[in-house]
Structures are given as C-alpha cells and as structure tokens.
Amino acid sequence: MAIPKIVPDFRVIRDENLCINCQACCRVCSNDTHSFDQNIAKIISDHRKCVGCHFCEEICSTGALTIEKCYSQIRENFNWNEVDFKNLMKQAHSGGILLTGMGNDRPWINYFDHIVLNASQVTNPSIDPLREPMEIKTFIGRKPDSIEQLKKEKKLPILLETEIPVLFSAMSYGSISLNACKSIAAAAWEAKTYWNTGEGGLPESLKKFVSRTIVQVASGRFGVDARYLNEASAIEIKIGQGAKPGIGGHLPGEKVTADISAARKIPEGTDAISPAPHHDIYSIEDLKQLIYALKETVDYKKPVGVKVAAVHNIAPIVSGIVRAGADFVTIDGFRGGTGAAPVVIRNNVGIPIEIAIATVDSRLRQEGIRNHASIIAAGGIRSSADVVKAIALGADAVYIGTATLVALGCHICQKCYTGKCNWGIATQDPYLTRRLNPEIGKRRLTNLLRAWALEIKEMMGGMGINAIESLRGNRDQLRGIGLNDKELALLGIKHAGDAW
Amino acid sequence: MNFKNICQFSDDRKVRIPSGCGIAGIFNKHGELLSGEIIVRAIDSMKDRGNGLGSGYAGYGIYQDCRNYWCFHLLYNQATARDQVEQYLKTYFNVKLSEQIPTRKVKSIKNPPVLWRYFLETKEQMPSEKEENLIVSVCMGINHNANDAFVISSGKNMGIFKGVGEPSEIADFYKLEDYKGYLWTGHNRFPTNTVGWWGGAHPFGLLDWSVVHNGEISSYGVNRRYLENFGYYCSLFTDTEVITYLFDLLARRQNLSLDTIGKIIAAPFWIQLENYSDEEKHLLKWLRIIYGPALVNGPFSIIVARSNFMLGINDRVKLRPLVAAEKGSTFFLASEESAICCMEKNPDRTWTPKAGTMTVCFYEKEHYGNSKDCT
C-alpha cells in the first residue's frame, strides 16, 4: 500500500543569491536538516527534519535562511485539524505515545489576557517609581498570626526573602544543560531571588549558589541526602507538574553522564525513572509525614514546600497541604512547561493557573489559614503583567520556567525530549551545550528580572500602590473583559465598567 | 415622610465611593467640655474640601448621664426596619432608653432617614472584652444583614451625627450646639462619582472608635479581605470602614500599642530601616511580614478617636495634608491650618506631622472621668 507521509511542519527557505555555501548551517543543525551536496555544489535542506528552532536562521551570516510554516494543507476541517491529523498519522506509524516538550500550546482561553489593571486618576495620585520608593521585596513561608504569637515561638519562622516576587522554576540538571543551570543559578544569586534544582540534584559546581537554591524532593528521590537538604535555602516536595499532572518522569540512561550520575546519585548510564506517585505518599497523612521528616532532617531551619499541578479539586488539596505543615505551596497551571510529556496529557489535563490561584487564595482565606503558607504560582507566566495579575489574584510570588528558557535562546520548538536542543539548553551534548555561555546567560536573565521589576513598579505606581503587600490579593484592582459571570465569580473580580 | 428618594440612595451603598475630604478634630485632654459648635466652625471653614454630599461629627462625653450605657445611633432607610432591629437588640440588651435623635428641619435636607438612638446594657454581666466583642458582632450583624438599617455609632458616652449635606446644614439638622463634649471630630465630604448616602458619610464608628478620613485607600481590596479573616465584614463600602476595623483588630483585640499600629498601617520603607537599631529593625521587619495585608496604601490623612485619645496619621509619602496644634490642654488636628485657627486663634504650637508618623494625644489620667463644662 501507499504509506502516507506526514507533511512537514516547516519549510526552510534559502535565498540562493545570499547563500555563500559556507555550510555553517550544515554544521550547527543537530537535526541534520542541512547537508552539502558535492555533486551539485549546493546546500540542500530536508524540511521534514526541521523542528523550527530557528538556530540556523539566526547564525546565518548572510541572512540567507528563513524558516516558515509549511503551508501544504490538508483540506480545511475544523474537526480534523492539522495537529490532530498529523498526530494520528504518527501514531499509526509508530504505535507509541507521542511525546512533546514545553507547555500546552492549544488555544485554550488565557485568563491573563482577559484581565485588565486599574490606574489612579484624580481621586488618588499615581506614584512615580522614579521619585518615590516602590517596594516589591517578598517573603515566602509560614507567617505567624500575630506578633504576640511570634514572641511565643521558640524559633523564628524561617522565610525566603526575595527582592522580586519572581523565582526560577524547577528545571533539573539533566533536563537542561549544566550551562543553563549555571546561568539560572548565577542570575538568581545576583538578582537576590531563588532558583530550583528540580529533581536533578545539586551539581558540585553550583554549590556556591546554595543560599539562593530551592532543592526538590521528587518521587525518584534523585540527588537527595541530608547534606543536599541542609545546604539549600528551602525544600520543595514535588507531587505534580502542570504539564503532566499524574505522570512521572524518565531520563533515558544515555543522558545520565558521569556528572549527572554524580548529581543525581545514581549509576552512570542507568535510566532515571521518577514514578508517577511518590510510593511513600498515598494520602495526605503520608505527605505530612514526609514534610515533617524533612523538617526534622534540617532541624526546622528551612521552609518546606509542596508543588502540585492545578487540577479540578485544587483548593481543597492545597488547604490539606497547608494543614499538613507546608510552608509554601507551588501550584503549576496547565500551561506549565516540561522537558518531556505525553502530548495527550500535556494538552488535556489540568486547569488554568489564574483560576487555581483565585480559588485557592479564597479558600485559604475562608479557612483563616492564608498566612500559614505562601502560594507560588507557576505555569504560563509570560510577562510582568502576568506577574502583577497573578499576585493581585492572590499569589505571593511566581515561578518562571519557559520565560527563563526563552531569555536563554529557546524558541519553544517543543523538542526538548529529543536531547538535540540547538540552543544548548535541553541537551547534554557538549557540542551543543557550549553554545550557551553561562556568563551571557546570567546577564540575559538578570536583565529580564530587572526589566520586569521596573515594569511591575510602574504598574503598581499607576495603581497608587507602593508596596507589593497592598497588591497581593487586591482583586479590586483587576477587571475582567469578555468573561462570563461564572468565570468572574471564580476569579473573584468584577467586569470592566463596574466601579468599586 | 417620603422614603422614595432614600431608597435610591441605598443603591449607592453597593458601590464604594472614593472621596476627597476635609477633616478636623479637637480634644481637651483634661476632659473639659466644649460645645459642638466649635468643630462645625472648623469644618465649615474648609468648604472647598466638600461638595455638600456628606458631612458628619463625632462627639465624646456628650451623654454624661448615660455614660455607662452603650449608645447605638441607628439609621433606618425604611421605618419598617426599626421593629426588626429593635427585636434583635432586645435579644442581647436591656433597653434603658430608646428615642428619636432630636433633629430640626433644614430646608436643604430633604427626605432624611429615620434616626434613632438606644441606650443599652447587656442582659448578662460579662467581662468587658466579651462585651465589646458582642457589640462588634451585633453591629456587623445589623450592617451586614439588614437592608435598611445601619449602626452609625455604638460606643459609650459618645455618638456620631452624619448625613448628606453641607457641614453647617448637618450641624443644624442634628442641633449639634446642644451637645457638649471633650473630644470632637468632624468631616466634610467630596464624593467623586455619585451621590453620597447617609451611612457612607464620615465619621465611621464601631464601639467607641470613630474615624474621619481624607483619601482613597488603594489597598482596600487587601485590607478588606484580611479583615474578613477576623470576622469583620465591610458592608458600608467606604474606605474608612477598613481603617476603623483595623484599629479595632490591632489595638483592642491584639492589644498592640498605638505606636506599633502606626508602624503597621504606615510601615516605614525598607530603606528607612537603616535609621533604626538592630532590635527595632527586627521588630519592624516582622511587623511587615505578619501585618503586610494591614498596610494602608494610597493617599490618606485620618483622625482616629477613642474615649481616651485622639490621633492623626498620614500615609507613608504624605499625599494628603494634616496639621496639628496645641494650646494648653487642648490638642487640634485638621486638614488645614486655617481650620485650626477657627478653633484657636493663638495656638502654643503648630506643626506638620511627617509622612507616615502618628501624632497622638492621650486623656491625662488624673482628669479621667471628671469631665467639666468650660464653655
């Protein structure tokens, strides 16, 4: 039979007038898209191999290359759209679960894009951050109910203190390169915020940044020992991830190099499998035991948090986690990224982070336990406006993952799981990882945080607010546009046009 | 009486009305009684700060004969609401006296609501803290649940008189010249987007707290939700309400000093902490961490009064005016110095409190409880 081929996603357009046959594109592409044909003395490109990472396009010294979407379309059909059609074809060919990287790319509603901010006019002067102090320092962890209660406590609660309410999300050494980890850790150090090791352990060369490091304890327990826990600033128990709620992880053995094996404390070349659940946590009581086991290990000197994916029952789940003793709860929305996840899970499981923040914040307030734990929102934060909206909905701080990688060069081609990242991020191939200079990477990330801090201050000043505490949970400053009553009620905001 | 127009007003309470305003306060710390006229002079001098859509006064020491009874001033938008509220009050209190608040007809004040006052004592003897909590929950109950009734003030030997009108008209209406008190605060209102309603005028009161406020609280959304944790429900839709409840929570329930409360609602900037000792820095940092949601942001100058003190405080960058003065045993606060001059032509000292600092004057203990008439 005629086996149908799959139409390529991209087309490589080469301007023959500009191309000087230097073959740089042939050398750099990890997917072998370009090759030099000796017979015709010309470079030819295999569109089928192109993943759309735009690396060749950007390094081409003469600007001869353009990567375009391939417009060879199947007959237009809203039900049988191109993505589902192609995925089905691939599965008919391979018989396997389709993998992907990064976050949900489906056109679900993005609530951040339906929320607008307030600004002061007449009755309330806006504040110019160039002239007046504008405070965004943030503390993460359990906060006492009153100053009297603080005095009664034997030990002061330990809090994370960050100069900007934006932290770098968990991305393990293994899922990303050491140079990427170095860039992130050094940027967190310099910007006085925190980075998160993910489940990759803490490589020796990053230990100088430990005082700005959140270490993860995930279902595979990779890299975890007493020293790892005691060195860090905080510990995060990872239960779930927005891109793949209910799904574990798998780092193939070929990626477990000597360095990674040392950081993860597993033999070189073995598969690193993180089970879907923690096999010692089958219930909330079990989670409480793990939280306190970790707290005992670090003598109650570090905050212990829990990361969960935003799912239907998120508010009661987080309430339970807070009551189980977590000092902070990370909620990862369904647009959160990943190094590898089944397409079907990434695209269909979980709920938007905006709704999760709002319902969790309201629930914790109703129960009078909002100050017992901080909420860190993750999954789909793209800009400083998203940060401000997330905080006004009720988050204490946000984690950025995809945004971090984009600042390092990532073009969101979603092929992280192949280990062939041309930008030197999601790969362990030394030929590729050296493309990412950790010094420059650090500078780009500190630039990003600086720019966002300036923008956050501008937006706050416009609202007549000069302290982030007065923005946190201040939904009065938000209005919805084009949302129905149920959505507005869940978000706890009014529609644009409604006064105070 | 025609209640039609008032019903229209009551719709406005669903909307929070930010406002510009004039405020003033006078306090004789020896308890000498002054006629209400004096505060009217001060407020009336700041006509530009209001637009006739709200004014009000709080007087302390005005009910000397009933000083041991809780005095509730009630505002009824519907006369029918009265029976319901009185039934409710009777479940907790013995009613010593129940009467209409004396008013006179003022031409420009049309369709005023029904105003009533009650002197009450709790049915059971209970510790004062418990008694105060009961008063708070009764006030919350009425304000939150009853559509047409609002508790305007609920303290002992004090009362709040407010409504929609110019300062002199409201004073006329309530016959303020008939009252004598050792502490008076007043307010002149400039609501910015809609007709004010009677309950939304200042001062705002709970127990013997009264607050007058000029400004717009941009942290209202945070403060309100923080207070809900502690059982305070904002139902009057004015910024001032949250300030009153914050003071009640922090001072009465959490027993924090006024100085500490000042450091919470107008917390020093982080960069200012360098000016403090290590011990103070430690305290200020934890106050900020614990009470961040109680920080009051946005422009404000407020005068807060209780039976034994009067204080003024500004936001951290002083975006609203506040002037203080003293003359002998009398302490003055006002939006403008001109208002102080209307009360006292030659103060011993006049000064402008700095941004975010609290200026407070206490009743002098040796004089406490023996108020005397000095007018």
Position A240 in a domain: yes
B193 touches chain A (CB under 8 A): yes
pLDDT at B328 over 70: yes
| Judgement on whether residues A80 and A134 belong to the same structural domain of the protein | no
pLDDT at B270 over 90: yes
Nearest CA in chain A to B217: A124
Question: What pLDDT does B6 receive?
Answer: 38
B320 touches chain A (CB under 8 A): no
* Span A69-98, pLDDT tens digits: 998 778 889 899 889 999 999 999 999 999
| Judgement on whether residues A53 and A154 belong to the same structural domain of the protein | no
* Span B83-135, pLDDT tens digits: 999 999 999 999 999 999 999 999 988 889 999 999 999 998 899 899 999 99
User: Which of A96, A125, A153 is the last residue in one of the domains?
Assistant: A96
| Judgement on whether residues A39 and A149 belong to the same structural domain of the protein | no
| Judgement on whether residues A70 and A149 belong to the same structural domain of the protein | no
Position A174 in a domain: yes
Question: What pLDDT does B375 receive?
Answer: 35
| Judgement on whether residues A91 and A170 belong to the same structural domain of the protein | no
Nearest CA in chain B to A133: B269
User: Which of A96, A128, A146 is the last residue in one of the domains?
Assistant: A96
Position A5 in a domain: no
Full domain range(s) for residue A280: 114-495
The alpha carbon dihedral of B35, B41, B46, B49 has a sign of positive
A467 touches chain B (CB under 8 A): yes
For A483, the token pair is 């949302």
pLDDT at B2 over 60: no
Question: What pLDDT does B331 receive?
Answer: 95
B21 as an active site residue: the answer is yes
Question: What pLDDT does B54 receive?
Answer: 85
Question: What pLDDT does B18 receive?
Answer: 53
Q: What is the DSSP letter of B271?
A: G
Nearest CA in chain A to B221: A474
Tell me how long chain A is: 500
Compute the distance between CA of residue A188 and CA of residue B142 in angstroms, rounded to an integer.
52
CA-to-CA separations, A272 to A378, A430, B195, in angstroms, rounded: 25, 20, 68
| Judgement on whether residues A386 and A280 belong to the same structural domain of the protein | yes
Position A1 in a domain: no
A155 touches chain B (CB under 8 A): no
β strands within A107-184, DSSP E: 115-117, 138-140, 160-162, 166-168
Tell me what the pLDDT averaged over chain A comes to. 95
B273 touches chain A (CB under 8 A): no
SS3 content of chain B, % helix, strand, coil (to 5): 35, 30, 35
Q: Contacts of residue B283 in chain A, CB cutoff 8 Å?
A: 147
User: Which of A41, A61, A96 is the last residue in one of the domains?
Assistant: A96
* Span A442-454, pLDDT tens digits: 999 999 999 999 9
For residue A149, the distance in angstroms to the closest alpha carbon of chain B comes to 10
A447 touches chain B (CB under 8 A): no
Nearest CA in chain A to B271: A133
Task: Say which of B17, B228, B297 has its CB closest to residue A365.
Answer: B228
pLDDT band at B192 (very low <50, low <70, confident <90, very high): low
Q: Which residues contact B33 (CB under 8 A, 6 or more apart)?
A: B61, B180, B181, B182, B371, B372, B373, B374, B375
Among the residue ranges A76-85, A377-386, B59-68, the one predicted with the least confidence is A76-85
Nearest CA in chain A to B266: A467
A132 touches chain B (CB under 8 A): yes
pLDDT at B4 over 60: no
Q: What is the DSSP letter of B250?
A: I
Question: What pLDDT does A154 receive?
Answer: 84
Tokens 């059982």, residue located: B231
A163 touches chain B (CB under 8 A): no
pLDDT at A189 over 50: yes
Tell me how long chain B is: 375
Task: Say which of A464, A473, A499 has its CB closest to residue B218.
Answer: A464
Question: What mean pLDDT do residues B188-195 have?
Answer: 67
Tokens 């192109």, residue located: A50
Q: Contacts of residue A463 in chain B, CB cutoff 8 Å?
A: 218
Percent of chain A with pLDDT over 90: 91
Q: Contacts of residue A125 in chain B, CB cutoff 8 Å?
A: 299, 319
| Judgement on whether residues A326 and A434 belong to the same structural domain of the protein | yes
Task: Say which of A135, A144, A474 has its CB closest to residue B269.
Answer: A135
pLDDT band at B197 (very low <50, low <70, confident <90, very high): confident
Question: What mean pLDDT do residues B141-152 have?
Answer: 88
A477 touches chain B (CB under 8 A): yes
* Span A339-348, pLDDT tens digits: 999 999 999 9
A159 touches chain B (CB under 8 A): yes
- Please state the domain count of chain A: 2
**Which of A123, A127, A479 would you mutate first to test chain B, the one with the most B CBs within 10 A?**
A123
Host H or E run for residue B22: strand B19-28
Q: Contacts of residue A477 in chain B, CB cutoff 8 Å?
A: 218, 221
Question: What pLDDT does A345 receive?
Answer: 96
pLDDT at A486 over 90: yes
| Judgement on whether residues A68 and A132 belong to the same structural domain of the protein | no
**Which one of B7, B21, B342, B374 is the catalytic residue?**
B21
Burial of B115 (0-12, 13-18, 19+ CB in 10 A): buried
pLDDT at B5 over 50: no
pLDDT at B193 over 50: no
Question: What pLDDT does B1 receive?
Answer: 32
Host H or E run for residue A84: helix A82-94
Question: What pLDDT does B236 receive?
Answer: 67
For residue A97, the distance in angstroms to the closest alpha carbon of chain B comes to 46
Question: What pLDDT does B373 receive?
Answer: 46
Percent of chain A with pLDDT over 70: 100
Tell me what the pLDDT averaged over chain B comes to. 88
Q: Following DSSP, what letter does each residue of B97-145 receive, concatenated?
A: EEEEPP----TT--S--EEEEEEEEESS---HHHHHHHHHHHHHHHHHH
Please, what are the domains in chain B? 4-365 (3.60.20.10)
For residue A473, the distance in angstroms to the closest alpha carbon of chain B comes to 6
* Span A26-63, pLDDT tens digits: 999 999 999 999 999 999 999 999 999 999 999 999 99
The residues with which B14 forms a beta bridge, in sequence order, are none
Residue A325's CATH number: 3.20.20.70
Q: Which residues contact A242 (CB under 8 A, 6 or more apart)?
A: A103, A309, A310, A332, A333, A334, A335, A336, A337, A350, A353, A378, A379, A380
What are phi and psi for residue B352, nearest 5 degrees? -110, 110
Position A3 in a domain: no
SS3 category, A459: helix
**Which of B14, B193, B229 would you mutate first to test chain A, the one with the most A CBs within 10 A?**
B229
Question: What pLDDT does B19 receive?
Answer: 57
pLDDT at B14 over 90: no
Question: What mean pLDDT do residues A471-488 have?
Answer: 97
pLDDT at B194 over 80: no
| Judgement on whether residues A182 and A220 belong to the same structural domain of the protein | yes
Question: What pLDDT does B241 receive?
Answer: 86
Question: What pLDDT does B367 receive?
Answer: 63
Instruction: Please answer yes or no on whether B229 and A365 come within 8 Å at the CB atom.
Output: yes
Q: Contacts of residue A473 in chain B, CB cutoff 8 Å?
A: 221-222, 225, 293
Task: Say which of A145, A466, A475 has its CB closest to residue B221.
Answer: A475
Compute the distance between CA of residue B258 and CA of residue B248 in angstroms, rounded to an integer.
11
Instruction: Please answer yes or no on whether B221 and A477 come within 8 Å at the CB atom.
Output: yes
